[in-house]
Structure 1
Amino acid sequence: MDPLLSLFDPQVDSDSEDIIITETRSATLLSQNGSLPPECEEGNIEYKLKLINPSKTRFEHLVTQMKWRLREGHGEAIYEIGVEDKGLLIGLSQEEVNASLETLYLMADKLGATITILRERIITNDEDNCKARKYTDHRPHKCRKAVEVLVRKVPDDQQTIELRIAVLGNVETGKSTLLGVLTQGETDNGRGSARLNLFRHRHEIQTGRTSSISKEILGFDNKGVPITYNVCRTPEEICEMSSKLLTFIDLGGHQKYLKTTVFGLIAMHGHYAVLVISSIGGVFAGTAREHLGLALALEVPVIVVVNKIDITDNRSLTQTLIQLETLLKSPVCKKIPVRVETEDDVFTYASRLTTDHIIPIFTVSCVSGYGLNLLYKFLYVLPPSVSVNDRQRLIDSKVEFQIDETFQVPEVGLVVSGLLISGLIREGDYLKIGPFDCGLFSPVQVSSLQRHKVASRSVRAAESATLALMSYNNDIDLEKSVRKGMVLIEINDNSYGHKICQYFQARIHVLFHVSMLCPGFQTTIYIGNVRQTAVVVAIMGKKYVSTNESASVMFRFIKQPEYIKNGSRLLFREGPSKGIGHIVQVFPIITKTNDNSL
């Protein structure tokens, strides 16, 4: 049995799993072996021994090189000064460091980028660092330094660098309180005062439990200072003052809201996931293990925050951390847990989060504020996950806007919110919305749009937004007919008819099932922003599928047709039964008109 599957099996106790102990060595300026890995031609990390008085031609080459590293890092680059191309830490005198940083500032200024010194390392002359002495004329007692610098440039077509972070965890672990403290800039009073601004419904305030999907933003300026509601009064001010913007997606932790949580995790396309664990509740309480399994199955990088350490003793906290590390290192997860206790840990593990199999662990208190400073710094240096080239390719593609929520606003009309998967939408554009129950689309116009509750003129691929729509078809009532799961596409896009289906075929892998998955089995299907019950029509080449088995399965949506694309990721869940997969073929429905429009 695949060890990951035990995260979804309610009968499995993770304490019984065998443990894989994996050592991790940090390849950073503070590593004790005196060297870094050799410089890679690709990526956003650049090694420079020194940058002192370059010629005009050399300076232009350095600027071009910085531009390349910024593109590779999606607007962010890391410069290691005082380091050879092979990774050996040579170090520079203070005068050489100052001269190199001055050149770096001039390079960044020419590109409109900003510079932030992340950390320094003092390099001593010892017998293991003979080559360092060869490159310097300093006496052994002379202090030499290597410096790590963050270079950041917001892309020309963006106001900020943006990330979406899903927040997971069991009920009563303090997820909403943690987000309230981070975004408001004030600690909690111990009774949940910080979370009140995140709740959307009266029953959430009364029970203290999140039942819906709520979003909140946190900004950082060029120096890494958090821009919160303690500094700004409105989201517009936060957006204007920030060079980096994080959108937190607060998801419910109670078992009865798990469908909403799964929908939010898949439909919102989070770049990272924060799993909040209570230091007094334990690692295996409630839905925590299942939330972790979902994030790992969807290949979303995970960050763990152990909360409420102010109301637990050291013994209980140590036991919780040991349980957590045991689970993450076991064959269940096959990850490397690393505790973040210093600023150097922050910069080390943030840069390796998407490339190595590590899961950083923070310990925080929302009442005393312990550990929040390290968490802020970590969020500031988290790398973007979409490259400039990939994003430009998406922008140049046809419009596809996935609707995940609808509103009726007085004097405005229909408003939809969601994520723009590809293309570019401007205010006043004419689009088509659908599919409706009959499988057809209807023309609409974007009368206005907002991003982060701030009016905007356009929205680009990989950005979320809310759009106010006007209908040009009197035969259909948009306000009553538009629902979650629909899409907006270009008015002249005639190829979408091949993606509207009632039947589809998927290659699935069953994560857990109490017995056997057979034809006739009904389950809730999640595909992007689509959430609908579907029935298994046929299993290719098999009579049934059991836990940890794969098969090609034909599904049929129970209610209405949906807009589905080949290759889309799929997740299904019904009670304890769960599985993942991808779409391999859609079977377009036959419509009354040739262009599939009303």
Structure 2
Amino acid sequence: MNEIDKWAGLMHGNNVVPIFQVSSVSGNGLQQLTRFISKVPNRDQLNKAYQTVNDPLQFDIQENFNVSGVGIVVSGIIRSGKAVLNQHVLLGPDKAKQFKPVTIKSIHINRVLTDTAQVGEFACFSLKPSKAGDKLDRADFRKGMIIIDPALKQEPVTEFEANIHILHHPTTMSKGYQAVMHCGVIRQAVEIKNILQNEVLRTGDVDTVRLKFLYAAEFLQTDQILVIREGRTKIFGYISKLITDKQIEDEKKALVNPNLQIKQQL
């Protein structure tokens, strides 16, 4: 059994291929197999896309429904934290970069009513507005919206930097190139505003680029994995830096008044 525990702990390295001889008739080997499965590390603990149950709540909305007699219901994956009944949370960001306060009325996991849901679980929430007089309709939802704890900093961004690897592109790409970015539940077209190291990018190149959302600001975090696709073009990478609206305004002012940039550096 100690040998089984040892190799189960090494499974996350992708270098172990376990082989078990089992019999469904006599039951030989089943005890060792179940022991091995129980000792394999939980992928949610190894995956950087998930945080811990003690972190503030973040729930990625994948689908939304309007259920008769219930109201608005959303489904998705809890990326961090824990959700409980009657918890006050924030829904957003909308196209105006705003978050709307809502309350979790009920929680379902695998169609079973429950009082809590935690990181790594796929759950459904029934929502209602927290403020009296507010309304919540399906028209308020769009791709990329999330539910977060009010303790989290609510600052959606329109621009950010990413370290990318060009897996395939038929020609070259430069500033102004546009394609669709997939990052978690976000699906939106982005444009390359700047390439930090090279003038153009080709298949196999690795570089840091500055990207801009073309339609709406999104809630992002550093180290999030992203995929950019357009036709046969495939780009893989992760977010390295978020650029706030204040930084963008400072850059615009520096372009108008170069002396201001020199003073800021001094």
Q: Does the alignment reach a TM-score above 0.5?
A: yes
Higher relative contact order (CA 8 A, sep 6+): 2
Once the two structures are superposed, the pairs formed by residues 122-201 of structure 1 within 5 Å of their partners are none
- Aligned partner of 1:552 in structure 2 is 208
CA contact (8 A) 2:109 2:123 kept: yes
Provide the C-alpha distance between the structure 2 equivalents of 1:412 and 1:402, rounded to a whole number of angstroms: 21
Structure 1 distance, partners of 2:193, 2:220, is 18
- The 2-side partners of 1:490 and 1:472 are apart by 13
TM-aligned CA deviation for residue 586 of structure 1 = 1.4
Q: Aligned partner of 1:489: which letter? A: I
Query: How far off is 1:548 after superposition?
Result: 0.7
Q: 1:545 to 1:358 in 2, by over 3 A?
A: farther
**Counterpart position of 1:452:** 110
Aligned to 2:252: none
| 2:193 and 2:211 in contact (8 A); partners too | yes
How far did 1:483 drift? 2.6
CA separation in 2, counterparts of 1:535 and 1:559?
11
2:250 — aligned with what?
A: none
1:396 to 54, 67, 82: 54
1:488 to 134, 147, 154: 147
Tell me the distance in 2 between the aligned counterparts of 1:465 and 1:380: 28
Note closer, same or farther for the CA distance 1:456–1:553 as it changes in structure 2 (3 Å cut): same
Instruction: Give, in whole Å, the separation in 1 of the partners of 2:200 and 2:45.
Output: 42
Distance 1:494 1:352 in 2: 35
The equivalent residue for 1:526 is 182
Residue-by-residue CA offset, 1:392-429 (whole Å, 9 max, x unaligned): 97111111111111111111111111111111110110
- The CA deviation at 1:536 is 1.3
Gaps of 5+ in 2: 20-29, 247-266
Partner of 1:140: none
Deviations 1:453-507 (A, max 9, x none): 111100112222110000135466442111332111123x26232xx11111111
Root-mean-square deviation (CA, aligned residues, Å) is: 3.0
1:47-66 Cα shifts (integer Å, max 9, x gaps): xxxxxxxxxxxxxxxxxxxx
SS at match of 1:480: helix
CA distance in 1, matches of 2:141, 2:35: 36
Change (3 A) 1:380 1:560: farther
Residue of structure 1 in register with 2:261 after alignment:
none
Match of 2:258 in 1: none
Match of 2:217 in 1: 561
Distance 1:584 1:395 in 2: 24
Instruction: Tell me, in whole angstroms, the C-alpha distance in 1 between the residues paired with 2:174 and 2:165.
Output: 14
Instruction: Give 2:198's aligned residue.
Output: 542
- Distance in 2 separating the partners of 1:421 and 1:547: 32
Letter in structure 2 aligned against 1:567:
D
The reply on whether 1:512 has 2:168 as its aligned counterpart is yes
Matching residue within 395, 413, 418 for 2:71: 413
Deviations along 1:69-118, one digit per CA (max 9) or x if unpaired, are xxxxxxxxx535xxxxxxxxxxxxxxxxxxxxxxxxxxxxxxxxxxxxxx
Q: Give 1:217-232 correspondences, 5 Å limit.
A: none
| 2:161–2:241 Cα contact (<8 Å) kept | yes
Distance 1:451 1:386 in 2: 17
Q: Deviations over 1:295-328 (max 9, x none)?
A: xxxxxxxxxxxxxxxxxxxxxxxxxxxxxxxxxx
Unpaired runs of 5+ residues, structure 1, are 1-77, 81-147, 151-346, 362-373, 591-598
| Equivalent residue number for residue 79 of structure 1 | 2
Which of these residues, 501, 510, 530, is aligned with residue 157 of structure 2?
A: 501
Structure 1 residue 568: Cα displacement: 1.1
What SS does structure 1 have at the residue aligned with 2:235? strand
- Partner of 1:532, secondary structure, is strand
* Residues 521 and 489 of structure 1: CA distance in aligned 2, closer, same or farther (over 3 Å): same
Aligned-partner Cα distance in 2 for 1:568–1:407: 27
State the distance in 1 between where 2:166 and 2:225 align: 14
Report the Cα offset of residue 381 of structure 1.
1.9
Mapped to 1, the partners of 2:55 and 2:181 lie a distance apart of: 27
Residue 437 (structure 1) shift: 0.4
**Where does residue 571 of structure 1 map in the other structure?**
227
Residue 406 of structure 1 contacts residue 483 of structure 1 at CA under 8 Å; is this kept in 2? no
Deviation per CA, 1:27-62, whole angstroms, max 9, x where unpaired?
A: xxxxxxxxxxxxxxxxxxxxxxxxxxxxxxxxxxxx
Please give the per-residue CA displacement for 1:539-583, whole angstroms capped at 9, x wherever unaligned.
Answer: 113221111111111111111111001121111111111111111
Matches within 5 A, 1:36-75: none
Are 1:385 and 2:20 matched, yes or no? no
Q: Give distance in 2, aligned partners of 1:411 and 1:433.
A: 21
Q: TM-score of the superposition, structure 2-length normalised? A: 0.76
Amino acid at match of 2:144: G
Question: Structure 1's 479 and 386: CA in aligned 2 closer, same or farther, altered over 3 A?
Answer: closer
Q: CA–CA distance in 1 between the matches of 2:142 and 2:191?
A: 21
1:406/1:484 contact within 8 Å kept? no
**What residue identity is the alignment partner of 1:569?**
I
Cα gap change, 1:458 to 1:509, in 2 (>3 Å)? same
Letter in 1 for 2:193: V
* Structure 1 partner of 2:253: none
| Structure 1 residue identity aligned to 2:2 | Y
Q: 1:481 to 1:475 in 2, by over 3 A?
A: same
Q: Deviations over 1:435-459 (max 9, x none)?
A: 0000000000000010111111001
What's 2:25 paired with? Answer: none
CA distance in 2, matches of 1:413, 1:564: 28
Change (3 A) 1:393 1:521: closer
Distance 1:448 1:380 in 2: 36
Superimposed CA distance per residue, residues 351-384 of structure 1 (whole angstroms, 9 cap, x where no aligned partner): 65422435689xxxxxxxxxxxx9xx68982722
- TM-score using structure 1 length: 0.36
Instruction: Judging by fraction of residues, say which structure has more helix.
Output: 1
Opposite residue 422 of structure 1, the aligned amino acid is S
What secondary structure sits across from 1:403 in the alignment?
strand
Closer, same or farther: CA 379–480 of 1 in aligned 2, 3 Å: farther
AA aligned opposite 2:219: Y
Calculate percent identity across the aligned residue pairs.
25
Q: Is the partner of 1:395 in helix, strand or coil?
A: coil
Matched residue type, 1:451: I
